[in-house]
Amino acid sequence: MNRRPLVAFVCCWLTGVSIPSLWQGGTQFVVLAAAALLLIAARLVGRINGRLAAACVLALLLAFGERMLVDNGRVSDLSALWETEQLPIQADVTGRLSTGAQVDGDVATFQMSASGVRYRPSGGVLPISEPILVRVKLKTPDEQIRAARWKRGDLVKVSGAPERPADAGNFGAFDYKRYLERQGVYWIWSVQGADGVIRQDAAVPILVRPLRAVDELRTTIGGLTDRLYPGDDAGYMKGLVAGITEDIDPAQYDAFSRLGLTHILAISGLHVAVVVFIILRLAALAGLTRERAIDLAFSAMPVYMLLTGASPSAVRACLTAMIALAMARRHQLKDGLHLLAAAALIMTVWDPHTVENVSFQLSFAVTAGLLLFTPLVTGLLSFIPSKMFRETLAVGMTAQIVSFPLSAYYFHGLHLLSLPANLVLVPFISFVVLPLGMASVALGAAWFPLGWFPAKLASYANILTFEIVRRMDEWQGLRTVWPQTAWLWVIAAFGLLLVSASLLRRREAFKQEQEWSSAELEKETVPLGTSAVGSMRMLYWRLAVVLLCLLWTGWLVWGYRPVWLDRDAYVQFLDVGQGDAILIRTGKGRHILIDTGGTVTFRKPDEAWRERHDPYEVGRKLLVPLLRQRGVRELDALVLTHLDNDHIGGAEAVIRGVPVRAVIWNGTRKPGQSAERLLHLIRERGIPLYAARQGMKWQADASCELEVLYPGGSSAPPLLASIAEQNLQSVVLMINLYGRRFLFPGDLESSGEAEVVEAASHRSTATSSRTVDVLKAAHHGSKTSTGALWLHYWKPAQVVVSVGRRNLYGHPHETVVARIRDAGIPMFRTDRDGEIQYRIRPDGALQRRQKR
């Protein structure tokens, strides 16, 4: 630490900034005091000198203090205004756009800095000062064109409905509310139609004009790239060259993500290095002096940073480059870690919440890891004869090792072909595709035909890239899933990395001593006992290696199976909006998913303009990430109660993203593309498909039994019959977990409920018991379901309604709510309570928790 005082100072600064993110309440002050005492102890034992210890304690306290000040200073004027009053249905807000409008299908969004609000027709404008997010639902294609003209710095009046951002409805899911709060945004204005946004005649502030010009230049680059590249190439090249990621094909991005290649599409040190190299070479060809060339490259960095979107990785790379160029100009460029530390300090002083950004964490961790560990890994690979391949492999391995703990913690997956994919594609894209892309844009901007040839070469290279990615991604068996663990698991990983690096350095020093001893032995000048001391040190080193290997093994087991001793069973009613999705984990760790949610759309054929580039799809955006986050490596059964889209909409993404051993469904077909495409995919994947019929049972393991109560008898449809109205064909399941009974009736209606009750009352099996612990309300609480007979027969102890917030159907119906309430049955709803989880212990004890 004494040799790198700035690095030590910044590490303590980052620790102080991070403490409020990891601990809450009084615990954060205890941790802060413990960190300060640790530094004092390091001083007392002589690990750091007095001045550095004082500076590090000061950094710790100042960073913590700044973070607390920023957190306490982030207050919402609108929240305070409406704290004691009823939230208005409509309100007018005035202010300037702080971003340009992003138009995607029938939705336009932008952020504005609000300066005034009026929420009473007879009232005046009340002054406020805070950023808000505006979401405009466009009505016609002409409104798309109007919305695209809304630019940064425009003064506007927005008329709409103020809403608080929605929080995460499921445990461990992406929290949109927290994401916006990190940016200081506490309110969203929902506007119907472009007429709700009125531009005022006002000059754009002088400080905003450069940013507005950069926005327009980004738009120009995007348009030029669209002209130069065909199809999906355009979106990919816009992301690669200019950091414009909005138009990247979602399926293509997912494939890159699964192989750990998305860093290619993030503007980082690689892109900055290419730009700096090009500028310096062009300056040299123009006859500029070394100092003038460096000045030119230095001046280009802020422009390039803004031009590429100013993401945390781009800011880090550009700041580091600027510091390096400034030091190089003074012939003082020495340590890369100091440059990195300085960039981290600047970014977190500017905005302490940057430390919570995943891109920031990955960018700095990987860069620091490359600087610290690449020489050590290169030494371990000394058996490889080719120096170039050895160094390339060392860089790839180091980046993979350092990024893995954070990637596993946040994204819960690792493809075992990720390292080969990076070794093959990163150099190819870096030295071939990226320079061609930059050349095509630069030359095309000067004269469009000049950009055509490098664009054509880049397109051919992209064909090869996409084919390699596709083939590697097809190896589903090589995808590994890493469930959510405590953040201590990540800290432990970096601690073990530092210990491992220290051990390797000691090994190198010991090898050098051994070589010296051998040389001295030949001269017969070795002191007595040197050989014995060397043997003991070798023994200690080997013991340390064994202990370290055991620690790494324990760490891997902790991350891969964090709950491998858990024998409790779980029933999890996921919040998927207006739809059903229930995840069941048995006591032996098997997983069953009942329905997959989905979005019901009523789009007309002539409304193709409303289609969004990356629409929300519950399977890809919610279910698959949640399954990975919970350690679901395969589904033992996927139950599709019926083929309505709000129950099967996410099934395709689930089947493509998670191995499924069996599918159970009602045995019918439904007219329409969604159901037919799903059944075709199931057959294509070779997944066994079982038609559920009354009386069927499945013993999943010793803790779990499933029994089909419906369809059956005369009501059961012929196999593969085409049925448009699917509710009465819903599969009704009774699931017994450690003696606790859960009843899942899909969207069954009252006539079907009567059939189930009649059949159950005539059977002499255990199912005829007239009590269940938890009943899922059929058809989301529709008035045609969950009738009095149904409730009276089953006598549920609790009822769960899976329903979407502000749904168009009025679910759950007030008569059903009243019926359940009058029966004295506690009712829980996913729209209000979020995800509802039941935990069943082996002794039958039942516990419930809900997200909200």
- Say yes or no: 165 and 248 in one domain: no
Nearest to 364 by CA among 313, 419, 410: 313
Q: Does residue 178 sit within a domain?
A: yes
Q: Does residue 79 sit within a domain?
A: no
Residue-wise pLDDT tens digits, 276-293: 888 888 888 888 888 888
Domain hosting residue 23, numbered range: 5-73
* Beta bridge pairs of residue 414: 480
Query: Which amino acid is residue 443, in one-letter code?
Result: L
Q: Does residue 78 sit within a domain?
A: no
Q: Of 216-220, 456-460, 744-748, 808-812, give the lowest mean pLDDT range.
A: 808-812
Residue-wise pLDDT tens digits, 487-535: 889 999 999 998 888 887 777 666 665 555 555 555 555 555 555 555 6
Contact call for residues 781 and 801 (beta carbons, < 8 A): yes
- Say yes or no: 805 and 718 in one domain: yes
Q: What is the pLDDT of residue 126?
A: 86
Going by pLDDT thresholds of 50, 70 and 90, the confidence category of residue 768 is very low
Q: Does residue 580 sit within a domain?
A: yes
Q: Does residue 314 sit within a domain?
A: yes
- Say yes or no: 106 and 9 in one domain: no
Instruction: Kindly state the tokens that stand for 470.
Output: 């596709």
Element holding 177 (H helix, E strand): helix 176-182
- Say yes or no: 550 and 576 in one domain: no
- Say yes or no: 470 and 588 in one domain: no
pLDDT of 764 strictly over 70: no
Domain count, the chain: 5
Residue-wise pLDDT tens digits, 191-231: 999 999 999 888 889 988 888 988 899 889 989 999 999 88
Q: What is the pLDDT of residue 767?
A: 46
Burial 632-643 (b: 16+ CB within 10 A, else e): bbebbbbbbbbb
- Say yes or no: 147 and 130 in one domain: yes
469-473 CB contacts, 8 Å cutoff, 24+ apart: 469/252, 469/255, 469/256, 469/259, 469/261, 469/421, 469/425, 470/255, 472/259, 472/415, 472/417, 472/420, 472/421, 473/255, 473/258, 473/259, 473/415
Residue-wise pLDDT tens digits, 234-268: 889 998 888 888 888 888 888 888 888 888 887 77
Q: Does residue 114 sit within a domain?
A: yes
Q: What percent of the chain has pLDDT over 90?
A: 36
Boundary of a domain, candidates 148, 168, 202: 202
CA–CA dist 322, 300 (Å, integer): 9
CA-to-CA dists, residue 615 to 101, 104, 194, 208, 625, angstroms: 18, 9, 20, 32, 16
Boundary of a domain, candidates 183, 202, 221: 202
- Say yes or no: 746 and 641 in one domain: yes
CATH number at residue 779: 3.60.15.10
Q: What is the pLDDT of residue 509?
A: 65
Residue-wise pLDDT tens digits, 83-122: 766 778 888 999 999 988 999 888 999 999 999 888 877 6
- Say yes or no: 510 and 420 in one domain: no
Note the pTM of the prediction, 2 decimals: 0.86
- Give, as one character, the DSSP assignment of residue 209: H
Residue-wise pLDDT tens digits, 418-435: 989 988 888 898 889 988
CA–CA dist 737, 706 (Å, integer): 9
Going by pLDDT thresholds of 50, 70 and 90, the confidence category of residue 565 is confident
Q: Does residue 80 sit within a domain?
A: no
Element holding 689 (H helix, E strand): strand 689-691
CA–CA dist 96, 109 (Å, integer): 14
CATH number at residue 143: 2.40.50.140
- Say yes or no: 238 and 363 in one domain: yes
CA-to-CA dists, residue 762 to 87, 509, 571, 756, 769, angstroms: 54, 82, 29, 10, 11
- Say yes or no: 170 and 218 in one domain: no
CA-to-CA dists, residue 49 to 42, 52, 458, angstroms: 9, 6, 54
Q: Does residue 779 sit within a domain?
A: yes
- Say yes or no: 263 and 312 in one domain: yes
CA–CA dist 408, 507 (Å, integer): 30
Boundary of a domain, candidates 560, 578, 597: 560
CA–CA dist 760, 758 (Å, integer): 6
Any residues with CB less than 8 A from the CB of 14 and at least 6 apart, and which?
A: 63, 344, 348, 355
Whose structure tokens read 């070394």? 290
Residue ranges in 617-672 assigned as alpha helix (H): 618, 624-629, 645-648, 651-657
- Say yes or no: 223 and 337 in one domain: yes
What are the backbone dihedrals phi and psi of residue 507, each rounded to the nearest 5 degrees, phi first? -65, -45
Cis peptide before 812 (omega within 30 of 0): yes
Averaged pLDDT of the chain: 86
What are the backbone dihedrals phi and psi of residue 157, each rounded to the nearest 5 degrees, phi first? -115, 125
pLDDT of 311 strictly over 90: no
